[in-house]
Every structure is written in structure tokens, then in C-alpha cells.
DNA sequence: GCAACATTTCCTGTTT
DNA sequence: GAAACAGGAAATGTTG
């Protein structure tokens, strides 16, 4: 093993940083170190400078140690299950990464287990650890809670939704949780955990400034109507105004603007608007399709995707990822609201490989859920829905993690 | 091939 | 007047 294992170095730095004025905390950290890296050589003195070689000579066959060294145990163990030692190491790692002055750290708050830690809200964290470290710890904890939750809940479908969210938001240049730099090790874990592009091909979805139609003419794969030509021109896919009108009135960031998504728009002038027959128009043959969304590797029988209500639910239960797309109105009652209704519809469309999805269509599908009691009506409130008794997976009790 | 299911698409009318 | 809501009708794609 190399003599510069980051976990050990960080711990040593922390111990050294607090040893002058906080001997107790120092010994706690050192004891935690020894406890965690249970050694068969009790003669190793905690404070001695040869700690590192001593550790490196230990039997390090257990994966916990190996994981700790690389910081990966964070992503493998639910924060709720962290031991006091785990919490201590996590704090020490964050102390190091924030260059926090450990002298100001209170020992009393460094001896708690994960369950206790998880009960602290952001304000309490800041109150205990100070603004800088407290905020940092809170963010870090939320990240590991999310990862843990993903591992618990997810099946590939939830991952897919999260991945879709990540990819979608990534394309919009949002600062994604998974990209927040806490430390190299965590970053590596994040990249591993959220590297989804291999199994959900969204790479074909490019978000870029919309090219003026006069410069580049796109061809539609299945929308041959003049109706869509006109609606598209008005920004239907331009993402210039994907938020709902209400969302623009203060609940969402008014400064927020989506990059534009390029679309295939068939420029076909028709003199008068012809009345369409009812029902969904037949799709053109794939052979004649020139759709950028078509994936040549796509299976003939696509795997069963999540249902719309599950897609919505998955956005809602990952508030750190939904970036103002939706919000809970009443978390306990399952009442939620669309903030960026068109953006959510676009995401749903991406998931279903349907570039022409709109909130109007999505909401029609949502209304069908009323009969099946998957959703309940919320009268008088626009863009507000409520999960019904036949929905699942959104309740705090079910998830086990308060959000 | 067929039926069931879950949307998707379009429409008209109503409400906010 | 525009956006959202409501729900009918007919269509599609997937699955069993």
C-alpha cells in the first residue's frame, strides 16, 4: 500500500490540526481511527508519527477498511446506519476538505451515530458546526442519503428517471448534486454511481441554441401537419418558455432560462388549417424516419418503462435533483404542483422518445389516473395534483427518509 | 393474431 | 384572451 492513503492522511491532518487545543477530540479521532481500523497490533501508539506505516502493515483484508481509505463506504452504507466512528470519520473528512479550523469544533457533537445525525436539519447542522462546515456537512449528508435511498428503492426504473433528470439538468448547465465537488473520492463515486449513459442512451438528445429555421431546415419524423409547424415556431420545443405561467410568477427562478433544444421541424406551409380526424395520427414508417431521437441500438421490444405517475413521483422524491420542476404542496398528503410544467412534459417526452410531448397531453394522461385513483383531483388549484390511494412509493413512511 | 393496457393525440367546452 | 382543466373519441405501442 502506498504511504499516502488519503483517508489516513486526512485523519492525521485532522488530528494534528486539533491536537493543540482539543486533546480530547484528538484522542477521540485517533481512537476512532484505531477502532475502525481494528488492528492486531495494540502496541501501536495513537500519537506516534509511525502511525501510517503501522496501519499499512495491518491486516486490511476487510472491505470496510479498503472502502474507508477510498471514501467509498459513504456510498455503500446508509447514513442512518453509520456508527459513531463512521460519523467521526465523515466529519473529519469534511473538516479536511473544507479546510475548517478544527479548533473550533465541539467534541460533544462529534460523538453521535448516523441515526442521530440524520435527524438534524440544515439549521441545526449550521448551529452546531458553524455556517461553513455545517452547510458543507448538510450537503454531504443529503448526498449520501440520496445515494442510499437510490440503492434501497431503485430499481433500474428509478435510476433511469434520476439519470434522465441528471442528464436533462446537466444539459441545462445546472449544478447537479452529483457534480458537487466534495472530494476526489466522492467525485469518483458520484461519477460511477450516476454514469448511466451506457444503459440509457440519451446522448442523442442535444441541447443547443436553436438554429434559426432559415439557416437550417429540420425534417420532422412524424409530424407532417402544418399545425405543428406553427406551434413549433412559437417555441414549442425551443424551451424558451417551458415554465408554466404560474411558475414565472415567483415560485420558480425568474432568471432561469433553458437553453434551447434543437428540433426537427418540417417547414410546410399550408394555406388553411385543415380539420384533423380524431385520434392519434399513424406514425410514419421508421424506414422513412430521419429522427435524431431514433436509437439504432434500440431493442425491437423496448423494456417496460415507468408509468407516468411513477415518473412524476420519482422527480418529486428527489428534490435535490428536480431543480424547481415540481414541488410538494403538502408532502404528507401527497399534494404536489408543477412549477415547470412544459419542462416536465419535455422530460417525459424524452423518456418515451416522443419529441412532441406537451403538458397538455401529459395532463390528459394524468386525468385518466383520477378514475383509477392513482391521482386525486385538487379542485380550484392549477397545476396541482394529489397522489391517490392506488399510488405508492411517495410516502415518507414508505421511503423511510424524510424529505 | 388478439386483447388488454397505458398512454397519445386531437377535440370541444368550461373555468380560472 | 390565454392558460389550464375536463373529458370524449380514436389512435398507437407494448405486453402477455
pLDDT at A399: 75
pLDDT at A156: 56
For residue A300, give the nucleotide whose C1' atom is nearest its CA.
C14
User: Which strand B nucleotides have any atom less than 7 A from protein CB atoms?
Assistant: 6-12, 16
pLDDT at A280: 60
Interatomic separation, CA of residue A277 and C1' of nucleotide C6, rounded (Å): 20
pLDDT at A121: 77
pLDDT at A326: 92
pLDDT at A201: 35
- Chunked into runs of 10 residues, chain A (403 residues) has average pLDDT values of 36 35 35 34 33 32 35 62 70 62 57 75 74 74 68 56 65 43 33 32 34 32 35 36 43 36 38 51 46 34 66 88 87 94 92 91 95 92 94 85 51
Neighbouring residues of A392: CB distance < 8 A, sequence distance ≥ 6: A398
Which domains, from first to last, does chain A contain? 79-154 (1.10.150.50), 308-398 (1.10.10.10)
Interatomic separation, CA of residue A330 and C1' of nucleotide B4, rounded (Å): 35
pLDDT at A362: 96
Please tell me the distance from the alpha carbon of residue A211 to that of residue A197, in angstroms, as a whole number.
26
pLDDT at A2: 34
Q: Which of residues 131-170 of A touch strand B (CB under 7 A)?
A: none
Interatomic separation, CA of residue A302 and C1' of nucleotide C13, rounded (Å): 10
pLDDT at A369: 95
For residue A337, give the nucleotide whose C1' atom is nearest its CA.
C4
Interatomic separation, CA of residue A130 and C1' of nucleotide B4, rounded (Å): 59
Q: Is the CB of A382 under 7 A from strand B?
A: yes
Please tell me the distance from the alpha carbon of residue A343 to that of residue A237, in angstroms, as a whole number.
10
Element (H, E) at A34: helix A23-36
pLDDT at A29: 35
For residue A277, give the nucleotide whose C1' atom is nearest its CA.
B10
pLDDT at A172: 53
Please tell me the distance from the alpha carbon of residue A312 to that of residue A304, in angstroms, as a whole number.
16
Please tell me the distance from the alpha carbon of residue A348 to that of residue A35, in angstroms, as a whole number.
49
Amino acid at each position: 500500500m502506498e504511504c499516502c492513503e488519503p483517508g489516513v492522511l486526512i485523519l492525521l491532518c485532522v488530528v494534528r490540526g486539533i491536537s493543540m487545543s482539543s486533546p480530547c477530540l484528538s484522542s477521540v479521532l485517533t481512537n476512532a481511527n484505531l477502532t475502525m481500523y481494528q488492528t492486531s497490533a495494540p502496541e501501536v501508539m495513537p500519537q506516534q508519527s509511525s502511525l501510517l506505516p503501522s496501519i499499512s502493515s495491518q491486516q486490511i483484508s476487510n472491505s470496510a477498511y479498503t472502502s474507508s481509505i477510498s471514501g467509498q463506504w459513504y456510498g455503500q452504507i446508509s447514513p442512518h446506519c453509520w456508527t459513531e466512528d463512521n460519523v467521526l470519520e465523515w466529519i473529519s473528512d469534511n473538516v479536511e476538505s473544507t479546510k475548517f479550523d478544527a479548533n473550533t469544533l465541539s467534541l460533544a457533537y462529534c460523538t453521535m451515530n448516523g441515526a442521530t445525525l440524520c435527524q438534524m436539519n440544515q439549521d441545526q447542522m449550521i448551529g452546531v458546526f458553524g455556517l461553513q462546515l455545517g452547510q458543507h456537512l448538510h450537503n454531504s449528508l443529503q448526498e449520501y442519503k440520496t445515494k442510499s435511498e437510490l440503492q434501497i428503492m431503485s430499481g433500474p426504473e428509478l435510476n433511469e428517471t434520476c439519470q434522465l433528470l441528471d442528464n436533462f439538468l446537466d444539459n441545462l448547465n445546472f449544478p447537479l448534486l452529483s457534480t458537487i465537488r466534495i472530494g476526489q473520492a466522492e467525485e469518483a463515486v458520484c461519477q460511477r454511481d450516476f454514469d448511466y449513459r451506457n444503459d440509457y442512451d440519451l446522448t442523442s438528445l442535444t441541447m443547443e441554441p436553436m438554429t434559426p429555421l432559415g439557416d437550417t431546415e429540420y425534417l420532422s419524423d412524424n409530424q407532417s401537419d402544418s399545425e405543428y409547424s406553427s406551434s413549433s415556431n412559437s417555441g414549442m420545443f425551443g424551451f424558451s418558455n417551458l415554465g408554466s405561467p404560474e411558475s414565472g410568477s415567483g415560485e420558480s427562478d425568474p432568471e432561469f432560462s433553458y437553453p434551447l433544444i434543437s428540433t426537427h421541424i418540417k417547414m410546410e406551409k399550408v394555406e388553411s388549417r385543415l380539420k384533423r380526424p380524431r385520434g392519434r395520427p399513424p406514425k410514419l414508417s421508421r424506414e422513412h424516419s430521419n429522427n435524431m431521437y431514433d436509437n439504432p441500438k434500440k431493442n425491437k421490444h423496448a423494456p417496460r418503462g415507468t408509468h407516468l405517475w411513477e415518473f412524476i413521483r420519482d422527480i418529486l422524491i428527489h428534490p435535490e435533483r428536480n431543480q424547481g420542476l415540481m414541488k410538494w404542496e403538502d408532502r404528507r398528503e401527497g399534494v404536489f404542483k408543477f412549477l415547470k410544467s412544459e419542462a416536465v412534459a419535455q422530460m417525459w417526452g424524452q423518456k418515451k422518445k416522443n419529441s412532441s410531448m406537451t403538458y397538455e397531453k401529459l395532463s390528459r394522461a394524468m386525468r385518466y389516473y383520477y378514475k383509477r385513483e392513482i391521482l386525486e383531483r385538487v379542485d380550484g388549484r392549477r397545476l396541482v395534483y394529489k397522489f391517490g390511494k392506488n399510488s405508492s412509493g411517495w410516502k415518507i413512511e414508505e421511503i423511510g427518509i424524510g424529505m
